[in-house]
Amino acid sequence: MPKVRTRRQKLFAVLPTLLTLCNAVCGFGAITIIARVGPDALAGGEQQLVFAALLIFLAMLFDALDGSAARLTNQASEFGAQLDSLCDVVSFGLAPAFLMLTLTHPEHHVIETNARLLFVWHPRILWSIAVLFMACAILRLARFNVESDDDDSHDSFSGLPSPAAAGVIVSFPLAIRFLNSVDPQIASPLASKLTMYTLAALAVTLPLITLGTAILMVSRIRYPHVFNQFVRGQRNRSHVLQLLFFVAMVLVAWELAVPVIFSSFAFNAPLRAVWRKYVRRSPQTSTVPSEG
């Protein structure tokens, strides 16, 4: 009986580490799949990028489970925290950057549109944006390790979390596959034109979105820990309405809903900060008091 208990304890002790390593395995698997996409594999490039994106989402699941498993098994340690960040660099730093670079590369033709593009990104600029995203993810994770405290309530983050930033990038292959599947012969002329111009807009704006998420990762903007706040009951009517809206979007067209959900989380906080600082100024702060 004691031997059985000892084996079970050893299994529980190694479970958080295994979950963390599964995170890295998914990230590395996504990278190997993305590396297969090129000018010589035009037919399957889109589907391969979708598969790689799903692997990164699976890495997010493992990343969410390892911390809970460590706390439940009483195995939380500094080693686990450092290992988690190292694996996050692979899955949420390198893999999304490589995916964006491959998805928007003009020679890969993953984004198919007949609309005339305003301009085409030079591959060197795309490479620079991808490198910046990866570097900001590394800085974000290193800063989190230094500033994180076990006594924190973890209701919010300083800067956009790297899994959320990765989610913004890797959700777009799902939407692009959905838009590419629209048949102009079946769809209405309005739907066909809307699809064509949306794909053209994504080809131009996706690198800018990647650049924006990279900057937000190293910013000091506060982001809520949505799961913790909902579990602890810290929610209001607007949160419930947003949740219902996103659920409805997922039921209607989940491929389009996923990038909307991640993008709204990433850019809602900075847009609200800009609104409060520059637009919604009170008369007391906008007027200079007279002397005398």
Q: Mean pLDDT for each consecutive 10-residue tract of the chain (292 residues)? A: 57 83 97 83 73 97 89 83 94 97 83 73 94 97 82 72 96 92 82 86 93 96 72 62 78 88 92 81 49 42
DSSP 23: H
Which sign, positive or negative, has the C-alpha torsion 281, 282, 285, 290? positive
Dig out the tokens for 27 from the structure.
């990230």
pLDDT for 2 equals: 52
pLDDT for 263 equals: 95
pLDDT for 277 equals: 79
Contact yes or no for 100/207 (Cβ under 8 A): yes
pLDDT for 153 equals: 54
Number of Cα atoms under 13 Å in the Cβ half of residue 127: 3
End-to-end CA distance of the chain: 87
